[in-house]
Amino acid sequence: MDHVEIKRASLEDVETILHLQMRAYLSEAEIYNDYSLPPLIQTLKEIKQEFSQQVFLKATEEDRNIIGSVRAYLEKETAYIGRLIVKPDSQNKGIGTRLMQAIEQHFKFADRYELFTGYKSARNLYLYQKLGYLEFKRIPVNDSLMMVFLEKYRNNNQQR
């Protein structure tokens, strides 16, 4: 893998991130046979609104192309992490892991990190568990989709 740099995204990056998000979430849509997943139908206006309220990180290659992104915000000592995406042909090269470590580092004073993914998203669940996240609840969204919520405490002895 070429040199990959992870840094904070700018407002000019959100359109590229939105297109990448749609490409990355197609595989999720196929798993659940649901092409109306929120990341697939998010509008540019909506992602710009999110950008104003959350920290967006981006992973870029040497040619400055964005190949990954993650976003998060802090609320009551918990960093809520969302939309970890990596360009399909750049997956399984450690970029998702590096993005997760970078967003955790950005919110290093948070006591807890929380995220969610679909229950059939085996690669996501594997990655998050490898990074120390533990499942703490499941919420059914509809007949075909159950969301799995995972958490990780900065100080490991705080887990419930």
Helix H, strand E, coil C: the string for 29-93 is: HHHHCCCCCHHHHCCHHHHHHHHHHCEEEEEECCCCCEEEEEEEEEECCEEEEEEEEECHHHCCC
Q: So what's the pLDDT on residue 65?
A: 94
Contact predicate 9/56, CB 8 Å: yes
User: pLDDT tens digits, the chain, 160 residues: what are they?
Assistant: 458 999 999 999 999 999 999 999 998 899 888 888 899 999 999 999 999 999 999 999 988 899 999 999 999 999 999 999 999 999 999 999 999 999 999 999 999 999 999 999 999 999 999 999 999 999 998 887 899 999 999 876 554 4
Asked if residue 84 lies in contact with residue 67, where contact means CB atoms within 8 angstroms, the answer is no
Pick 5-112's CATH classification: 2.60.40.10, 3.10.580.10, 3.40.630.30, 3.50.50.60: 3.40.630.30
CA gap 142, 107 in Å, rounded:
32
pLDDT of residue 115: 98
Whole-model pTM? 0.93
